[in-house]
Structure 1
Amino acid sequence: MNDERSDGLRRRVSLHAALADPARLQILDTLSLGDASPSELAETLGAPSNLLAHHLKVLEQAGIVARARSEGDKRRSYVHLVPGALDDLSAPALRPAPRVLFVCTANSARSHLAAALWRRASDVAAASAGTHPAETIAPGAVETARRHRLELPQVRPQHVDDVRADGDLVVTVCDRAHEELDLPVDVHWSIPDPVVPGTPEAFDHALEEIGRRVDNLAPHLCPLATPANTTTAVPAH
């Protein structure tokens, strides 16, 4: 683990530890609406001043809150949230990626739906493939995409060996593909195969579950930066 990632993990641990108390979370909720003096916070929490002082000390040491002296009554101070202090609570970006490759067994439903949902959620390119590709996309996948107004390209399922490219971030969306795939997998989503029950409800459930996971992963990836001096070649006539 590199030093930068270690520092980030330690920062997140300290933030979670500082917030691991109902009273401190209540202080955070109160300050998210506006600044407050310690006495006002003590009244809101119904806590004695010495206990409030302890909670504020923990939050200050973690860099979550700070105090400023009142411009009116110089004996009074106000507590405020430090801007951006909680930004490190979320996991950092996994890495820039040229493309996300979704893999399932038949490349007939889950991987196609995942790629379609990804294109709607992220600027990172997406593709799909299978370990044992079927002849066609499952009609149930086509129908659930239509019901949810999701653009699903009508393409022939393809084998992962014919699609995978260097740099792809590989996401398996079924257990069988994950367990038999002979290449590194970055992320695995254990999504039940909707083709087995074959009902509209099964396909809708798969779409919903994949969509939730896409929404979780998309913010942590970004496209590869394009070099500033890159130009598009114009063919000679």
Structure 2
Amino acid sequence: MNVERGAEPRRSEQLARRAALHAALADPARLQIVDTLNLGDASPSELAEALAMPSNLLAHHLKVLEREGVVGRTRSEGDKRRSYVHLVPGALDDLTAGQVRQVPRVLFVCTANSARSHLAAALWRQASEIPAVSAGTHPAEAIAPGAVESARRHHLKLPRVRPQHVDGVRADDDLVVTVCDRAHEELRLPVDVHWSIPDPIRAGTPEAFDHALEEIGRRVGNLAPRLSLPTNPTDVAPAATR
């Protein structure tokens, strides 16, 4: 059999990489961390609380996962002392969780309800039959023009509605997804999933809005197959009216 020069070293490197990844995931605690982060980002303190794990033990497991490129960290745009841990895109393409739960509606929340949360709801409506709405903790006067333009560039239907406060939108059975660090840190109600998405309004460039749209779309694509409507849904609010 003819072997291309350099092929065997590359194969050895790939095998070593796969072995290291499997070793990193061989610990039940690290698998639990990965399962938790599979739906959204979390700070180390939130992970420790959710998994009932001592902070020093969590730090050890995160170090192993970071070393193998499974997880990464970003600094919070709200509380600069805080960071969020996330799964590295593509690191676990062959490891997918099953369906998580049944929900009647998904509520996306950011601070101003002027960009990220609206884009998330619009992308969700393309990916899932589960209704979606959006809201903010400090609603702006209108949707950001940059978000409207980004949606137009990507042929995404973005309803031109006035931003709303989360207190006037949330229903008891909503699955709440925060898409901004500030909203996640100051929200007084339970949050099911957090996505640490940089605020495109700060940069104000088309590239920033397109990057936010792409990142939200990736996460929507990951979460949508893991949720379904209840078998007997009742009183589900129509997403298009919010």
The bucket for the TM-score relative to the shorter chain is 0.5 to 0.7
**Per-residue displacement from partner, 1:13-62 (whole Å, max 9, x unpaired)?**
xxxx9x949xxxxxxxxxxxxxxxxxxxxxxxxxxxxxxxxxxxxxxxxx
**Per-residue displacement from partner, 1:187-224 (whole Å, max 9, x unpaired)?**
00000000111100000000000000000000100011
Question: Aligned ranges for residues 36-115 of structure 1 at < 5 Å?
Answer: 90-115=96-121
Task: Specify the alignment match of 1:171 in structure 2.
Answer: 177
For 1:213, which of 186, 211, 219 is the aligned residue? Answer: 219
Query: How far apart are 1:166 and its partner, in Å?
Result: 1.1
Query: How far apart are 1:89 and its partner, in Å?
Result: 5.4
- The two structures, once aligned, show a CA RMSD in angstroms of 2.0
TM-score, normalised relative to structure 2:
0.57
Query: How far apart are 1:92 and its partner, in Å?
Result: 2.4
Q: For 1:191 and 1:89, how far apart are their aligned partners in 2?
A: 23
Q: Which has the higher contact order (CA 8 A, sep 6+)?
A: 2
**Per-residue displacement from partner, 1:58-93 (whole Å, max 9, x unpaired)?**
xxxxxxxxxxxxxxxxxxxxxxxxxxxxxx953122
Task: Specify the alignment match of 1:203 in structure 2.
Answer: 209
Residue identity in the other structure for 1:202: A
Residue identity in the other structure for 2:141: E
Task: Specify the alignment match of 2:192 in structure 1.
Answer: 186
For 1:137, which of 135, 143, 150 is the aligned residue? Answer: 143
TM-score, normalised relative to structure 1:
0.58
Counting matched residue pairs gives: 145
Residue identity in the other structure for 2:145: P
Secondary structure in 2 matching 1:102? strand
Secondary structure in 1 matching 2:200? coil
Query: How far apart are 1:225 and its partner, in Å?
Result: 1.5
Gaps of 5+ in 1: 1-16, 22-87, 228-237
Secondary structure in 2 matching 1:129? strand
Q: For 1:183 and 1:137, how far apart are their aligned partners in 2?
A: 24
Query: How far apart are 1:102 and its partner, in Å?
Result: 0.2
Q: For 1:201 and 1:171, how far apart are their aligned partners in 2?
A: 24
Q: For 1:109 and 1:191, how far apart are their aligned partners in 2?
A: 11
Q: For 1:197 and 1:113, how far apart are their aligned partners in 2?
A: 17
Q: Which runs of 4+ in 1 moved over 3 A?
A: none
Q: Which has the larger radius of gyration?
A: 1
Secondary structure in 2 matching 1:195? helix
